[in-house]
């Protein structure tokens, strides 16, 4: 304690140069355990808090915009959990299990990213998995109002949890799961908008839906014919 008082200009934790702060606190002469490599280790492994964040969303389907955000998030958080909301009211195109498989395949190259599912309040889930931040994407001003409302409500529910907004690369700023679904359903190209695996799954899903839709009228016709006869 006295040591610190004799260095009035020493930076206060956590601001300033942490390495200098620790060096000032060390007894002198340094015992063998306190060598520079030990300090490096302590700073990177022991004394620095690991920050875990969740990236919640519907991901129906996951797009290259989501992937862009996951990559950015994985660089600033120690751990990132992509959390798929189980919301039966939304009537999704893909089941939660399908979305999970796609996201797992898309994120397999990131050591610090995992995929999970949840229901209920996002803040409750964040607390359960001991996350300290919620990652959300902002593409345009149109996202801002809704995201701001959600972030403020989440802060009211759980003041200790921060929402962090990130912007995707410009080329993904117009991209949404809804647009991808619509373009794919109308036969447009979704190349470059979603990973190959997702494109393939979308095509399969839409082919099945078309086959089913084409079968319906003919079934109806045959019923009509039978009635006429």
Question: For residue 31, what are the contacts with CB-CB under 8 A and spacing of at least 6?
Answer: none
Give Cβ neighbours of residue 159 (< 8 Å, ≥ 6 apart): none
**Residue list 169-198, contact with ligand ADP (CB under 6 A):** 172, 175-177
- Is residue 192 a contact partner of residue 64, using CB atoms and an 8 Å limit? yes
Active site residue 139: yes
Q: Is 73 a residue that touches ligand ADP (CB under 6 A)?
A: no
Judged by CB under 6 A, the residue of 53, 58, 118, 133 near ligand ADP is 58
Number of residues that bind ligand ADP (CB under 6 A): 16
Q: Which is nearer to ligand ADP, 139 or 201 (CB)?
A: 139
The contact pattern for ligand ADP, residues 138-157, with x = CB under 6 A and - = no contact, is -x---x--------------
**215's tokens:** 């079968």
Residue 84 binds ligand ADP (CB under 6 A): no
Q: Is 7 a catalytic residue?
A: no
65 interacts with ligand ADP by CB under 6 A: yes
131 with 81: CB under 8 angstroms? yes
- What whole-number distance in Å separates Cα of residue 32 and Cα of residue 81? 40
Rule CB under 6 A: is residue 114 a binding residue for ligand ADP? Answer: no
What is the sign of the dihedral through the CA atoms of 172, 173, 174 and 179?
Answer: positive
* CB of 113 closer than 8 Å to CB of 55: no
Binding residues for ligand ADP, rule: CB under 6 A, are: 57-59, 63, 65-66, 69, 136-137, 139, 143, 168, 172, 175-177
């Amino acid at each position: 304690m006295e040591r610190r008082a004799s260095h009035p200009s020493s930076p206060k934790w956590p601001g300033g140069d942490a390495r200098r702060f620790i060096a000032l606190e060390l007894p002198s002469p340094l015992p063998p355990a306190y060598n520079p490599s030990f300090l490096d280790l302590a700073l990177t492994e022991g004394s620095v808090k690991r920050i875990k964040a969740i990236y919640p969303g519907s991901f129906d389907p996951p797009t290259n915009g989501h992937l862009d955000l996951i990559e950015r998030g994985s660089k600033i958080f120690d751990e990132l959990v992509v959390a798929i909301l189980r919301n039966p009211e939304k009537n999704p195109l893909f089941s939660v299990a399908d979305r999970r498989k796609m996201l797992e395949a898309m994120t397999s190259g990131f050591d610090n990213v995992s995929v999970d599912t949840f229901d209920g309040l996002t803040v409750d889930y964040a607390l359960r998995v001991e996350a300290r931040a919620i990652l959300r994407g902002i593409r345009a001003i149109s996202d801002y109002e809704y995201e701001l409302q959600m972030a403020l409500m989440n802060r009211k529910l759980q003041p200790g949890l921060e929402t962090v907004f990130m912007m995707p690369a410009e080329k993904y700023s117009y991209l949404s799961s809804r647009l991808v679904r619509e373009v794919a359903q109308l036969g447009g190209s979704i190349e470059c908008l979603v990973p190959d695996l997702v494109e393939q799954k979308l095509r399969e899903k839409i082919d099945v839906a078309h086959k089913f839709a084409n079968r319906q009228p003919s079934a109806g016709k045959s019923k009509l014919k039978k009635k006429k006869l």
